[in-house]
Amino acid sequence: MNATNFHGTSFIGYQRGAQHGKSQQAFNPATGQALPWQYFHCSDTEREKALALADAAFIPFQNSRPEQRAELLEAIANNLAAQESLIIDIATQETGLPSVRIKNELARTCFQLRHFATLIREGKCFDKRIDAADNARTPPKPELRAVKLAVGPVTVFGASNFPLAFSVAGGDTASALAAGCPVIVKAHSLHPFTAEIVAGVISATLKQQGWPEGVFSMLYGAGTETGKALVQDARIKAVGFTGSESGGRALQRYASERQHPIPVFAEMSSLNPVFLFPHALDELSDEIAGALAASICNGVGQFCTKPGLLIAPRGVALDRCLEKLNALLTAQQPAPMLSQQGAKHFATAITAVKAHANTVTHEGKVEAAYASPFLLTVDAQAFMKRPELQTEMFGPAALVIVADHETQFGDISNVLNGQLTATVWQTEHDAEAVANLLPRIQNNAGRIVFNGVPTGVEVSHAMVHGGPSPATSDARFTSVGAMAIDRFLRPVCFQNTPTHLLPEILRDK
């Protein structure tokens, strides 16, 4: 495939949709210009065919050996890597993100696929359990064997801010395929042709390996139409979503309206508070300012793990840190956000927070799709009385909460909504105060970071990218790392089952 032969239609199993009906173009946010290709929303008939194919493919895919699915995931990773130049070319045009970011994100996406391949080869994620029978007991004890099996076809919604790692071949798709679930992806409108490249790689790899046709489909269409119809179809058994709180809430509402509701695993909104303890401020001021400036501006602030709240005790050390942070933010040049619409939402959020903040420490700017960083300040008492100050500013901005003393950190943490992360900057001299705060924040966030920034999310066995609402829809799960597969598995117990009828993983070696 190359940029001159985009088809702009949905992938329905191994078939392509028709070039008719409603069409759209993507835009380059850096230039504001429309890109020279158009894509077509799927028809009701095409959506129905994708659902029917996924339903038909489920049992054979569920019953496939983990080794087979591991080989599939590795092949997808290898074939995606082979398309690096084209992916970088198109994704940079669609997102305005620099090529090095796209290159790194593609590497992450491929690593993630291989990570799940290794995971299912090891097999521990399927949680095999065997209780032997005991006929001598009164009453006799039955033989019980349990294992986690795929839940069924899954709908995945591509994220706006990660065209690769949280999109068509991202963590939701990778973990669902690893579990044995067919996947129907609803492509995101901000990077439809990056989606076409990636979907083409997945589809071609599946066909080459001889998998059932409905293991993967990708549909173009509006979230309120195509997305709603997918979520409310009885053949879909789970949903993966990364995006806005309003979008995640809508999907949860659609799922709850079904005769038989299903889980929507939505990763939505997080402010990612950073608690700056006094000795850390005094001793590590420049390091803290440098780390925070880079993290706030990373990806033009469009990371769900961006540090959006900085909580610190008033005093000379904080003033010195903010002076340095302000200078670093001033040095940042305006950069394109993912879309003009996203920039408008960012500007609206800034206005909402500014209405209740005490001061604007650094006045940024939003013009067309371009934005430069903002830094706002409010005192702790005002913050705790104003829920509006917990509005997520999805862009290069942060709100500084100035406490009278670090003992006020606990009161502030008590009013915070659920978070993906919470960060603590401390030295050994802050140990007692940190120990008092930690039990509070560990119940309010999925990941606790010490003396660092939360922006990077490692793909690993121990990673938790989740948290209480509104960070996610279910704090018991993660959308990144090995445990992400748990969302798409359910336990099944087999009692006194003949060996030849057991799932292969439960049979005696």
Nearest-angstrom CA–CA distance, 107 and 295? 20
CB 113 within 8 A of CB 174: yes
pLDDT confidence of residue 4: 62
CB 420 within 8 A of CB 466: yes
User: Would you say residue 494 has pLDDT above 70?
Assistant: yes
Predicted structure pTM score: 0.96
Q: How confident is the model at residue 143 (pLDDT cuts 50, 70, 90)?
A: very high
CB 398 within 8 A of CB 311: no
User: Would you say residue 223 has pLDDT above 80?
Assistant: no
Average pLDDT over residues 57-62: 98
pLDDT confidence of residue 12: 98
Residues 265, 186, 153: CA angle, nearest 5 degrees: 60
CA end-to-end distance (rounded Å), the chain = 45
pLDDT confidence of residue 386: 94
User: Would you say residue 307 has pLDDT above 70?
Assistant: yes
**Backbone phi, psi, residue 185, to 5°:** -95, 135
Q: What's the chain's average pLDDT? A: 97
- Helices and strands (H and E) in the chain: how many: 15, 22
pLDDT confidence of residue 361: 86
Average pLDDT over residues 482-493: 99
Nearest-angstrom CA–CA distance, 260 and 498? 32
Domain boundaries, the chain: 11-24+37-268+472-503, 273-450
Q: What is the pLDDT of residues 82-112, one digit of tens each?
A: 999 999 999 999 999 999 999 999 999 999 9
Please report, rounded to a whole number, the percentage of residues in the chain having pLDDT higher than 90. 97
Residue among 245, 241, 244, 214 nearest 227 (CA): 241
**Alpha-carbon distances of 201 from 8, 63, 180, 392, rounded to whole Å:** 15, 24, 19, 35
pLDDT confidence of residue 21: 85
Q: What is the pLDDT of residues 424-475, one digit of tens each?
A: 999 999 999 999 999 999 999 999 999 999 999 999 999 999 999 999 999 9
Overall fold of domain 11-24+37-268+472-503: Aldehyde Dehydrogenase; Chain A, domain 1 (3.40.605)
Nearest-angstrom CA–CA distance, 408 and 406? 5
Collapse the DSSP code of 129 into the 3-class scheme (helix H, G, I; strand E, B; otherwise coil) and give the result.
strand
Residue among 394, 506, 495 nearest 133 (CA): 495
Average pLDDT over residues 259-288: 97
For 17-46, letters b (16+ CB in 10 Å) and e give: beeeeeebebbbbbeeeebebebbbbbeeb
> What is the chain's alpha carbon radius of gyration, rounded to the nearest angstrom?
24
**Alpha-carbon distances of 257 from 261, 263, 446, rounded to whole Å:** 7, 12, 29
User: Would you say residue 1 has pLDDT above 70?
Assistant: no
Please report, rounded to a whole number, the percentage of residues in the chain having pLDDT higher than 70. 99
CB 163 within 8 A of CB 187: no
Q: Show the DSSP H helices in 416-491 as ranges.
A: 431-441
Q: What is the pLDDT of residues 382-422, one digit of tens each?
A: 999 999 999 999 999 999 999 999 999 999 999 999 999 99
Tokens (6 digits) for 343: 């920039």
List, by residue number, the catalytic residues.
267, 304
Nearest-angstrom CA–CA distance, 421 and 179? 27
Q: What is the pLDDT of residues 345-390, one digit of tens each?
A: 999 999 999 999 888 889 999 999 999 999 999 999 999 999 999 9
Average pLDDT over residues 317-336: 96
pLDDT confidence of residue 358: 86
Q: Show the DSSP H helices in 126-191 as ranges.
A: 171-179
Altogether, the residues listed in the chain come to a count of 509
Average pLDDT over residues 1-19: 88
Average pLDDT over residues 105-134: 98
Nearest-angstrom CA–CA distance, 77 and 493? 33
CB 159 within 8 A of CB 185: no
Average pLDDT over residues 244-261: 97
pLDDT confidence of residue 224: 85
Nearest-angstrom CA–CA distance, 8 and 5? 9
Residue among 196, 209, 237 nearest 17 (CA): 196
CATH number for the 273-450 domain, one of 3.40.50.300, 1.10.357.10, 3.40.309.10, 2.40.30.260? 3.40.309.10
Residue among 257, 287, 216 nearest 14 (CA): 216
pLDDT confidence of residue 359: 86
Q: How confident is the model at residue 509 (pLDDT cuts 50, 70, 90)?
A: confident
Q: How many other CB atoms are there within 10 angstroms of residue 252's CB atom?
A: 20
Nearest-angstrom CA–CA distance, 167 and 95? 13
Nearest-angstrom CA–CA distance, 380 and 402? 5
Average pLDDT over residues 121-148: 97
User: Would you say residue 226 has pLDDT above 70?
Assistant: yes
Centroid of chain to Cα 384 = 29
pLDDT confidence of residue 360: 87
